[in-house]
Structure 1
Amino acid sequence: MSREQRKNLDEMLRRPKPTKPQSVEEIRANFAAFMATMKVPEGIRTTPTTLGNRLGVTVDPEQDARPGIILYFHGGSYIMGSPYTAMSVTANLVNKTRIRSVSLDYRLAPEHPFPAALDDALAAYRELLDNGVEAASIAFAGDSAGGGIAVSACLMARDAGLPMPAAVVAFSPGVDKTRSGASMDSKMGIDPFFTREGFTLSDTMYLAGQNPNHELVSPARFADLTGFPPLLLQVGTNELLLDDSTQLADRARASGVDVILDVTADVPHVFQAFTGILDEADQALDRAAFFITQHLR
Structure 2
Amino acid sequence: MGTALPNALKDSYTAMSARMAANPEMDIATLRNMLDSLESLSAEPTDVTYESIDAGGVSAILARPAGASKDHILVYAHGGGCVTGSAASHRKLAAHVAKAAGVQAIIPDYRLAPEFPFPAQIDDLIAVHKWLRAQGYRPENTATAGDSAGGNLAITTVLKLRELGEPLPAAIIGFSPWLDMENLGKTMESNADSEALVSRDVSELMVSLYLGETPRTEPLANPLYADLAGLPPVFVSAGDAETLQDNAERFHDKARDAGVDVTLEIQSGQQHVYLFMAGKSAEADTTIAHAGRWLRDRLGLTS
Give the shorter-chain TM-score range: over 0.9
Matched, 1:136 2:140: yes
Q: Tell me, which stretches of 5 or more residues in structure 1 are unaligned?
A: none
Matches of residues 228-247 of structure 1 in structure 2 within 5 Å? 228-247=231-250
Question: How far has the Cα of 1:236 moved from its partner?
Answer: 0.6
Question: How far has the Cα of 1:62 moved from its partner?
Answer: 2.6
Matches of residues 1-297 of structure 1 in structure 2 within 5 Å? 4-6=4-6, 9-11=9-11, 13-15=13-15, 17-18=18-19, 19-20=22-23, 21-63=25-67, 65=69, 67-220=71-224, 222-297=225-300
Question: How far has the Cα of 1:151 moved from its partner?
Answer: 0.3
Q: Contact between 1:107 and 1:116, CA under 8 Å: does it hold in 2?
A: yes
Q: Partner of 1:281: helix, strand, or coil?
A: helix
Supply the distance in 2 between the matched residues of 1:259 and 1:152 (Cα, whole angstroms).
Answer: 16
Percent identity reads 29
Q: Contact between 1:137 and 1:296, CA under 8 Å: does it hold in 2?
A: yes
Q: Would the alpha carbon gap of residues 218 and 187 (structure 1) be closer, same or farther in structure 2, given more than 3 Å must change? A: same
- Provide TM-score, normalisation by structure 2: 0.93
Q: Partner of 1:35: helix, strand, or coil?
A: helix
Q: Deviations over 1:46-80 (max 9, x none)?
A: 00011131100000013454530001100111001
Supply the distance in 2 between the matched residues of 1:118 and 1:64 (Cα, whole angstroms).
Answer: 27
Q: Would the alpha carbon gap of residues 8 and 30 (structure 1) be closer, same or farther in structure 2, given more than 3 Å must change? A: closer
Supply the distance in 2 between the matched residues of 1:28 and 1:10 (Cα, whole angstroms).
Answer: 18
Q: Contact between 2:238 and 2:267, CA under 8 Å: does it hold in 1?
A: yes
Supply the distance in 2 between the matched residues of 1:136 and 1:31 (Cα, whole angstroms).
Answer: 34
Q: What residue identity is the alignment partner of 1:248?
A: F
Q: What residue identity is the alignment partner of 1:72?
A: Y
Q: What residue identity is the alignment partner of 1:29?
A: N
- Provide TM-score, normalisation by structure 1: 0.94
Supply the distance in 1 between the matched residues of 2:8 and 2:272 (Cα, whole angstroms).
Answer: 15
Q: What root-mean-square deviation, in Å, do the aligned CA atoms of Structure 1 and Structure 2 show?
A: 1.8
Question: How far has the Cα of 1:132 moved from its partner?
Answer: 2.5
